Amino acid sequence: MTTMSKADLQSPTDLGANANRDIPAALRALLADVFALYLKTKNFHWHVSGRHFRDYHLLLDEQAEQIFAMTDDIAERARKIGGTTLRSIGHIAREQRILDNDADYVEPQDMLAELRSDNQQLTREMRRVHELCDEYGDVATASLLENWIDETERRIWFLYETGRSGPNS
């Protein structure tokens, strides 16, 4: 049996030691936010009620699937550049910046507004990570972030338009 050292676990990359430290740390926090947003979106999907139940239920399920689809790519990107990623639910709780909602009941319009705000927060966090990637010349992570920002802005748009009050609501 061989013993592995930390150096044995480092992935080969030309980004440098500071990038290998800073970018994975930023990605861990981002991943925690994504998991928090995923679970909140599923929570609201499971608990939505009212006259627009079917539409909201389906919208939130679709959005949750899209959010969850980001998780593996974020974690694997951190590993590709020599970092580590989340290891447990407790680790998520320590890193997340998006707040949980454990309320017994939330009005459907409030669900949409809260998720819109959380997605806006996620977009801001992704832009910060993108700036960090730009500093270190990590174009691969930056490219992934650009796609996720676009997807998140689409979710924000859908939540905004779905939650608008109009003459036909």
Which domain CATH number covers 38?
A: 1.20.1260.10
Q: How many domains does the chain have?
A: 1
Residue 168, domain member (yes or no): no
Residue 46, domain member (yes or no): yes
| Residue 168 confidence class, pLDDT cut points 50, 70, 90 | low
Residue 22, domain member (yes or no): yes
Is the pLDDT score of 1 beyond 60?
A: no
More confident residue, 1 or 147: 147
Among 89, 93, 37, 30, smallest CA distance to 66 is for 37
For 110-119, b/e burial (b = at least 16 CB within 10 A) is ebbebbbebb
pTM of the predicted model over 0.75: yes
Separation of alpha carbons 107 and 118, rounded Å: 16
Q: Which domain holds residue 56?
A: 17-163
Averaged pLDDT score across all residues of the chain? 92
Residue 154, domain member (yes or no): yes
Contact 58, 143 (CB under 8 A): no
